[in-house]
Amino acid sequence: MNAKLIQVSGDDVFIERRDGLSTKVNISLFSKEDQEFIRDWGRKETLKNDAIKVRFITDVEDQSGWEDNLRGVLKKTWKESYGIELSNESQLDLKNIRIEYLIFKFEDAVAAQKRSEGEVHYLTGETNVPVLKVRSKARASTKKFPMLETKLQPGFTWSGGGKKTSEDEMRGIWIKVFVGEILATEVSKPENLMRKESWPTSKSR
């Protein structure tokens, strides 16, 4: 049979014949080899069509109160991570999901003359979701990263005249979601992060 695949839905295969007519046939009409090809094609086409939606959640834990180092500097610490919620919008169960992430963490410089003297760190990692059922959601999390905020007590100044406060900040996250070896979606928060930055190569990590 000479025909063009249009859509695969369960055991239903929608094809376009050479004469231009479209029809639906059962996948059992094809050989085992062709069935594997058809199902693989169907999975890839499904993933091309925004099968996975992503939502980010900022998670904060182990937040301390202000601690006095007895030298006029107060500090507060906490751990921060991103929760990644995946929604399966397709009609297929999705398996072996791998999420690669790139986080942009700004570490503010203590006693700096201006905030721009801090440094942005590029933090990479990956996490996995074994199965994402049809029309369901699953959540994964990045690693937890230490954060710091400082401020001078009243009446104290830095000898070099630097600013009295500093605060680390998560400036964004960029993820690539793979189903098997197929890149299903690529999302960042904020949205323009992917246009402004570059994904690090294995050599630059």
- Number of folded domains in the chain? 2
Q: Which residue segment(s) compose the domain that 58 sits in?
A: 52-196
Q: Are residues 174 and 83 in the same domain?
A: yes
Q: For the chain, how far is it from start to end, CA to CA, in angstroms? A: 50
Amino acid 10: pLDDT: 80
pLDDT of 202 higher than 80: no
| Sheet of strand 119-132, all strands in order from the earlier edge strand to the far edge | 119-132, 94-107, 169-179, 182-189
Q: Are residues 76 and 135 in the same domain?
A: yes
Q: Are residues 154 and 76 in the same domain?
A: yes
Amino acid 192: pLDDT: 95
Q: What is the Cα 186 distance to its own chain's centre?
A: 7
Q: Are residues 6 and 85 in the same domain?
A: no
User: Which residue did the predictor score with more confidence, 205 or 28?
Assistant: 28
Residue 203 lies in a domain: no
Q: What is the Cα 94 distance to its own chain's centre?
A: 17
pLDDT of 84 higher than 70: yes
Q: Are 153 and 75 in contact (CB under 8 A)?
A: no
3-state secondary structure of 182: strand
Dump pLDDT digits (tens) for 4-31.
888 888 889 888 888 888 999 999 999 9
Residue 17 lies in a domain: yes
Residue 205 lies in a domain: no
Which residue, chain included where needed, has tokens 């900022």?
A: 58
Give the pLDDT mean for 164-182.
95
Amino acid 203: pLDDT: 46
Amino acid 1: pLDDT: 61
Q: Are 168 and 107 in contact (CB under 8 A)?
A: yes
Q: What is the full DSSP assignment across 91-145?
A: SS-EEEEEEEEEEEEEEPPTT-SSGGGSEEEEEEEEEEEEEE-TT-EEEEE---E
**pTM greater than 0.85:** no
Structure-block tokens of residue 187? 């999302």
Indicate if the alpha-carbon torsion angle 172, 178, 183, 185 is positive or negative.
negative
User: Which residue did the predictor score with more confidence, 198 or 40?
Assistant: 198
Dump pLDDT digits (tens) for 103-159.
999 999 999 998 789 999 999 999 999 999 999 999 999 999 999 999 999 999 998
Percent with pLDDT over 90 in the chain:
69
Beta-ladder partners of 23: 15
Q: Across 5-9, 41-45, 69-73, 98-102, which has the greatest mean pLDDT?
A: 98-102
Q: Output the average pLDDT for the chain.
A: 91
Q: Are residues 67 and 79 in the same domain?
A: yes
